């Protein structure tokens, strides 16, 4: 019998029951909730008179719809304020821990949970947000769910699911200087497309991921959904254990030792077989930018937009106002956004600050920096990065999802280009008519300084 | 959940690939705390321009096409997990979406809201899109019990998870089923070794 994958091991350990010829009942260890996808689930339970089964396994934050300025004041937008109020009331009523606006642990759900040690290897975690895949960086089965499923987890701490197929993405070799985890995942998606992972759970393997920091691994796993995979995982190793140990909700002493021993058994067996596998050479990866309206439409910054007959490409380029065969280098850019659950952790800001230090943002650029959490914001100040950014003319805002999905006031105006460290370049994602170019924090910082897209490889060498 | 058994009606062709949930319902409309009203804003930024004027070229604004069946391009519903997308599709009046590929989360959300996603081959989709585009009064019949999609050109058997089929036909959802497993869930919590 073939060995088990990391995914198999964690999945199988959480199966409560199997419906004959049907789905399985999967136990969920941690359920993260936020203001946008939870209210209808709470209402559903109330209408049916069902209590929340395991409130102590739920953690809530306010992030999607929160302002990133003046968070100490009442939220101006009435609908947003109401949504946040409902979250507070629902959490209070059902005894759920909430890190609301202004709380020292408040932040984007996928930044907050890992940094507090809530996310741990071998767990099953869900959230009504497709970027829940982020937590897979810890060797966790973590995936986004719809609101009906949020209600199911509230009611039973379980979900009814059909086990997905297995996929492995291997990247081996030596990454070139200034190629960041974001470039690696944008490269992979540009090669395999936005639906190659649909129906699969992905494992990222190879020395490139083994050598990445936890924050880098989170960036990679975060974008698993952009290739269609419900989730992506990386085997837990010493890097993982060192990151988790000592955090607020990490296990301690005897419990730590016991869990650690278990976590060490999780990596995929050598003889395990995957349903689908892709392999890439690290040497082929360069700093990436997207030119179209889905995350698979990416090219090396030194490359050119594909010149081929394709109605989808035509539609995307019409929206972006780009031409086939052209390079993006020297395209003027007026907005830069460094933030989102993909790239808003301290390492992202360190990389950007390192580049920006002693330079000035171009006068045409509005550069928004939105830390992923209060803790990241605090660390920025402790490390003096806030000064580097403000001296360079960047606007440092307060934590939240912000311009990644533009639910709050942080919107990119119609027709404007934004080089963004977020995860989606869909039409209108960052505001009606806004044109998003996805890139790494380094590319974003370089764009802000130059006021246009620059060949970062040339600049740094 | 509303029951779904059989439906015969006309279809709306939307031959765009990779229709993401931000197109189905833009984030700025996700501030409601109930499930109602999302249909008014389905495909909002394709239906209306920034001034709120109707975009006459968009299929939903073309009186030639109507009906509760949406025939859409490959990889429908990719992107965000927002169930608001399913509520918007249902709220507008669609009961069936036919495509050559569905994103996982959208597919699950659709089934949990009584919307039937039917996956067909890319070749079949191309023919079906041509048929309903050229002959807008073409009636399609979807028979869930027998898993058949019928057009004047013939019948096609489609697949659906057997458990989900029972749920759709009877209007059941997963909550009752999961609650019925309470004892097993509690036993699992007691027995797990880590």
Chain A nearest-CA distance from B79, in A, is: 7
A418 annotated ligand-binding residue: no
pLDDT tens, residue by residue, A261-314: 999 999 999 999 999 999 999 999 999 999 999 999 999 999 999 999 999 999
Q: Are residues A20 and A145 in the same domain?
A: yes
Q: Are residues A136 and A238 in the same domain?
A: no
Find how far residue B50's CA is from the centre of its chain.
Answer: 26
**Side-chain half-sphere CA neighbours of A271 within 13 A:** 3
Q: Under an 8 A CB cutoff, do A37 and B83 touch?
A: yes
Chain A nearest-CA distance from B143, in A, is: 21
Q: Output the domain CATH number for residue B177.
A: 3.20.19.10
**Side-chain half-sphere CA neighbours of A391 within 13 A:** 10
Q: Are residues A121 and A269 in the same domain?
A: no
Range of the domain at A129: 6-161
Find the mean pLDDT for residues B143-162. 96
Q: Are residues A36 and A124 in the same domain?
A: yes
Structural domain includes residue B104:
yes
pLDDT tens, residue by residue, A178-237: 999 999 999 999 999 999 999 999 999 999 999 999 999 999 999 999 999 999 999 999
Structural domain includes residue A1:
no
Q: Are residues A319 and A440 in the same domain?
A: yes
Number of domain units in chain A: 3
Q: Are residues A361 and A293 in the same domain?
A: yes
Q: Under an 8 A CB cutoff, do B112 and A21 touch?
A: no
Q: What is the reported pLDDT for B193?
A: 67
Cβ neighbours of residue B3 under 8 Å, at least 6 residues apart?
B114, B168, B169, B170, B171
Burial class (CB in 10 A: 0-12, 13-18, 19+), A384: exposed
Range of the domain at B99: 6-191
Quick one: closest CA in A to B76, which residue? A195
Contacts 24+ apart (CB under 8 A), A352-356: A352/A389, A352/A441, A352/A442, A352/A444, A352/A445, A353/A385, A353/A388, A353/A389, A353/A445, A355/A442, A355/A445, A355/A446, A355/A449, A356/A388, A356/A389, A356/A392, A356/A394, A356/A445, A356/A448, A356/A449
Q: What is the reported pLDDT for A21?
A: 83
Q: Are residues A302 and A444 in the same domain?
A: yes
Structural domain includes residue B157:
yes
Domain edge (last residue) among A283, A318, A340: A283
Structural domain includes residue A211:
yes
Structural domain includes residue B129:
yes
CB distance A58 to A31 below 8 Å = yes
Q: Which tokens belong to B34? A: 């109930």
Secondary structure class of B179 (helix, strand, coil): helix
What are the angstrom distances between the C-alpha of A311 and each of A258, A307, B18, B45, B73?
Answer: 56, 12, 12, 19, 12
Average pLDDT over all residues of chain B: 96
Number of domain units in chain B: 1
pTM over 0.95: yes
Q: Are residues A225 and A109 in the same domain?
A: no
Q: Reply yes or no on whether the pLDDT at A434 is more than 90.
A: yes
Dist. CA A126–CA A73, nearest whole Å? 31
Structural domain includes residue B1:
no
Find the mean pLDDT for residues A375-386. 98
Find the mean pLDDT for residues A12-16. 98
Domain edge (last residue) among A223, A253, A283: A283
Q: Which positions in chain A touch B31 (Cβ < 8 Å)? A: 36, 65, 77, 79-80, 82-83, 407
Q: Under an 8 A CB cutoff, do B33 and A39 touch?
A: yes
Using the structure block, give the residue that is written with the tokens 């949406």.
B70
Compare CB distances from B175 to A43, A151, A405 and report the shortest one's residue.
A151
Find the mean pLDDT for residues B41-61. 95
Find the mean pLDDT for residues B133-156. 97
Q: Which residue, among B139, B163, B135, has the nearest Cα to B151 in the 3D structure? A: B139
Q: Which positions in chain A touch B112 (Cβ < 8 Å)? A: 146, 148-149
Q: Which positions in chain A touch B192 (Cβ < 8 Å)? A: 13, 27
Q: Reply yes or no on whether the pLDDT at A37 is more than 60.
A: yes
Q: In this structure, is the dihedral angle defined by the CA atoms of residues A271, A274, A277 and A282, taken in order, positive or negative?
A: negative
Q: Are residues A107 and A170 in the same domain?
A: no
Q: What is the reported pLDDT for A460?
A: 60
Q: Are residues A301 and A432 in the same domain?
A: yes
Structural domain includes residue A11:
yes
Q: Under an 8 A CB cutoff, do A25 and B32 touch?
A: no
* CB proximity A318 to B under 8 Å: no
A341 annotated ligand-binding residue: yes
Structural domain includes residue A178:
yes
Q: Are residues A279 and A421 in the same domain?
A: no
Dist. CA B143–CA A335, nearest whole Å? 51
Q: Are residues A409 and A426 in the same domain?
A: yes
Q: Output the domain CATH number for residue A224.
A: 3.40.1060.10
Structural domain includes residue A39:
yes
Domain edge (last residue) among A283, A307, A341: A283
Q: Which positions in chain A touch B191 (Cβ < 8 Å)? A: none
DSSP element (H, E) containing A414? none
Task: Give strand pairing partners of B9.
Answer: B140
Find the mean pLDDT for residues A115-137. 98
Q: What is the reported pLDDT for A102?
A: 93
Q: Which positions in chain A touch B18 (Cβ < 8 Å)? A: 194-195, 294, 312
Average pLDDT over all residues of chain A: 97
Q: Reply yes or no on whether the pLDDT at A103 is more than 90.
A: yes
Residues 83-102 of B with CB under 8 A from A: 83-84, 86, 101-102
Cβ neighbours of residue A387 under 8 Å, at least 6 residues apart?
none
Cα angle A158, A160, A165 (rounded to 5 degrees) comes to 115
Q: Output the domain CATH number for residue A76.
A: 3.30.499.10
pLDDT confidence bin for A461, thresholds 50/70/90: very low
Q: What is the reported pLDDT for A275?
A: 98
Chain A nearest-CA distance from B4, in A, is: 18
Residues 114-153 of B with CB under 8 A from A: none
pLDDT tens, residue by residue, A418-428: 999 999 999 99
Q: In this structure, is the dihedral angle defined by the CA atoms of residues A310, A312, A313 and A318, taken in order, positive or negative?
A: positive
Structural domain includes residue B131:
yes
Find the mean pLDDT for residues B165-171. 94
Structural domain includes residue A296:
yes
pLDDT greater at residue B185 or residue A457: B185
* CB proximity A110 to B under 8 Å: no
Cβ neighbours of residue A283 under 8 Å, at least 6 residues apart?
A173, A174, A176
């Amino acid at each position: 019998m073939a060995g088990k994958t990391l995914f198999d091991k964690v999945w199988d350990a959480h199966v409560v029951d199997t419906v004959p010829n049907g789905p399985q009942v999967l136990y969920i260890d941690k359920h993260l909730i936020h203001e946008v996808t939870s209210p209808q689930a709470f209402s559903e339970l109330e209408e049916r008179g069902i209590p929340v089964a395991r409130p102590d396994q739920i953690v809530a934050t306010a992030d999607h719809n929160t302002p990133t300025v003046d968070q100490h004041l009442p939220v101006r937008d009435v609908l947003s304020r109401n949504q946040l109020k409902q979250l507070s009331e629902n959490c209070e009523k059902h005894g759920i821990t909430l890190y609301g606006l202004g709380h020292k642990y408040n932040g984007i759900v996928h930044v907050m949970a890992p940094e507090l040690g809530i996310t741990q290897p071998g767990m099953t975690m869900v959230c009504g947000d497709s970027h829940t895949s982020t937590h897979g960086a810890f060797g966790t089965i973590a995936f986004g769910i719809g609101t009906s499923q949020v209600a199911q987890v509230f009611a039973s701490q379980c979900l009814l699911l059909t086990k997905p197929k297995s996929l492995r993405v291997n990247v081996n070799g030596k990454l070139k200087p200034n190629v960041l985890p974001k470039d690696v995942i944008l490269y992979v998606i540009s090669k395999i497309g936005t639906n190659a992972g649909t129906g699969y759970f992905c494992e990222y393997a190879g020395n490139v991921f083994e050598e990445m920091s936890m924050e880098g691994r989170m960036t990679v796993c975060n974008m698993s959904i952009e290739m269609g995979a419900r989730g992506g995982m990386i085997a837990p190793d010493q890097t993982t254990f060192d990151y988790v140990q000592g955090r607020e909700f990490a296990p301690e002493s005897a419990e730590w030792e016991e869990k650690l021993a278990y976590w060490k058994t999780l990596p995929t067996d050598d003889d395990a077989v995957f349903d689908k596998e892709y392999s890439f050479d690290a040497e082929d990866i360069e700093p990436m930018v997207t030119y179209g309206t889905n995350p698979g439409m990416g090219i090396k910054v030194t490359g050119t937009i594909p010149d081929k007959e394709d109605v989808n490409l035509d539609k995307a380029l019409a929206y972006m106002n780009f031409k086939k065969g052209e390079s993006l280098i020297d395209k003027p850019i007026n907005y830069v956004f460094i933030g989102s659950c993909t790239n808003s952790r301290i390492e992202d800001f360190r990389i950007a600050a390192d580049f920006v230090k002693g330079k000035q943002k171009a006068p045409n650029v509005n550069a928004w920096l939105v830390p992923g959490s209060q803790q990241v914001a605090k660390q920025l100040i402790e490390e003096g990065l806030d000064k580097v950014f403000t001296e360079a003319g960047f606007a440092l805002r307060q934590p939240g999802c912000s311009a990644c999905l533009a639910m709050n006031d942080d919107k990119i105006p119609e027709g404007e280009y934004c080089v963004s460290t977020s995860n989606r370049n869909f039409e209108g994602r960052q505001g009606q008519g806004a044109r998003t170019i996805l890139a790494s924090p380094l590319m974003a910082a370089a764009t802000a300084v130059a006021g246009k897209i620059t060949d970062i490889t040339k600049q740094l060498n | 959940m509303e029951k779904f058994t059989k439906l015969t009606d006309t279809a709306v062709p939307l031959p765009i690939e990779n229709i993401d949930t931000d197109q189905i319902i833009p984030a700025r409309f996700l501030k409601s705390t109930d499930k109602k009203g999302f249909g008014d804003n389905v495909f909002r930024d394709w239906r209306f321009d920034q001034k709120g004027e109707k975009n006459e070229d968009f299929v939903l604004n073309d009186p030639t096409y109507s009906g509760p069946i949406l025939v859409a391009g490959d990889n429908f519903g990719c992107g965000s997990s927002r169930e608001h997308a399913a509520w918007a599709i249902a709220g507008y009046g669609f009961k069936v979406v036919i495509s050559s590929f569905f994103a996982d989360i959208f597919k699950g959300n659709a089934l949990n809201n009584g919307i039937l996603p039917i996956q067909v081959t890319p070749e079949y989709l191309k023919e079906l899109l041509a048929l309903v585009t050229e002959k807008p009064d073409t009636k399609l019949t979807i028979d869930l019990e027998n898993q058949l999609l019928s057009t004047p050109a013939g019948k096609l058997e489609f697949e659906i998870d057997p458990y989900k089929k029972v749920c759709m036909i009877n209007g059941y959802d997963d909550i009752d089923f999961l609650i019925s497993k309470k004892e097993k869930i509690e036993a699992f919590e007691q027995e797990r070794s880590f």
